[in-house]
Amino acid sequence: MTIVVLGAGDIGSAVARQVAAADIAARVVLVDEAGAVAHGKALDMAQAAPVDRHSTVLSGTDDVTTVVGADVIVLADRHAGGEWTGEAGLNLLKQVAGLNQVAPILCAGVTQATLIDRGVHELGLSRTRLFGTAPEAFRGAVISLVSLDAEAAPGDIALMVLGRAPREIIVPWESASINGRRLIDVLTPPMLTRIEDRLPRLWPPAATALASATARVLRSMLTRAPRTHILQVVLPRDERASSQSAMLPARVEPRGIRRVESPPLSSRDRVRLDTALAR
């Protein structure tokens, strides 16, 4: 199992590091235009293998053709130049999709929603093959915020974030839970209002959180774990008026998204989500 990470910036390096430490792939390749930087970072991570007790083989290169034969491709950020976005990102995406026509492509950055949409609608990539993992990191940030008010461990909190960050965010509080209890029975309406007001300021998640989210999704994909993740996905055009991607719950498998799920929503939240997706 080979995972290729395109970009040796803060996000890309953190993704490679966490995926290697998780020992879920036989090989991780870090690719960047600055090949010496990618090689140096991969070497540094490889030297940590005995400490982390993993057997993942790490390498770095400037050769994008390394994606040939890869099982999963992660589009992250460059060592110099930031996240892969815009025309440069689209050109890279086109090149990568031509070199490898089957591997799922995960966008790990926070500014790649438009790139995901263009990849599906302009390049003709499958919406189950190209998607983003940043919303999963954002969900983690929301859970951390809730845990402070609820005085509960983040691992005991289950909730979803839907819509489009940072302004059109829907958290279905009525379906959320804390240690098996309904969240709305633990937090008062004023508490929820205060949290809602702070949600836009939680975006964007930082590099380490983005990498953790990507690694978590990769683990579910490669181990076929039955988890639901919040991903940046593109819906079919006939399901909405807009062609922009959105944050929605989905199950994954080795080939990409298995299915986009229909979240249980109150009438109010359903209207809010439908309105957000139609814009």
Instruction: Give residue 50's pLDDT band: very low, low, confident or very high (50, 70, 90).
Output: confident
Residue 244 is predicted with a pLDDT of 79
Instruction: Give residue 150's pLDDT band: very low, low, confident or very high (50, 70, 90).
Output: very high
Share of the chain above pLDDT 70, in %: 97
User: Any idea what DSSP says for residue 180?
Assistant: T
* pTM value surpassing 0.75: yes
Q: Between vectors from CA 127 to CA 126 and to CA 129, what angle results, nearest 5°?
A: 65
> Whole-angstrom Cα distance, residue 194 to residue 204?
19
> Taking Cα atoms as reference points, which of 193, 197, 198, 185 lies closest to residue 150?
185
User: Any idea what DSSP says for residue 102?
Assistant: S
Residue 241 is predicted with a pLDDT of 46
* Cβ neighbour number for residue 247 with a 10 Å cutoff: 27
Instruction: Give residue 68's pLDDT band: very low, low, confident or very high (50, 70, 90).
Output: very high
Give the 3-state secondary structure of residue 43. Answer: helix
User: Which domains occur in the chain, in start order?
Assistant: 2-103 (3.40.50.720), 133-279 (3.90.110.10)
What is the average pLDDT across 268-279? 87
> Whole-angstrom Cα distance, residue 30 to residue 208?
16
pLDDT tens for residues 169-187? 999 999 999 999 999 999 9
> Taking Cα atoms as reference points, which of 123, 159, 150 lies closest to residue 234?
123
Q: Where does residue 23 fall: left (phi above 0), alpha (psi -120 to 50 degrees), or beta otherwise?
A: left
Cα separations in angstroms, 16 against 113, 133, 197: 21, 15, 34
Instruction: Give residue 243's pLDDT band: very low, low, confident or very high (50, 70, 90).
Output: low
What is the average pLDDT across 143-168? 95
Give the 3-state secondary structure of residue 70. Answer: coil
What is the average pLDDT across 150-177? 95
Share of the chain above pLDDT 90, in %: 89
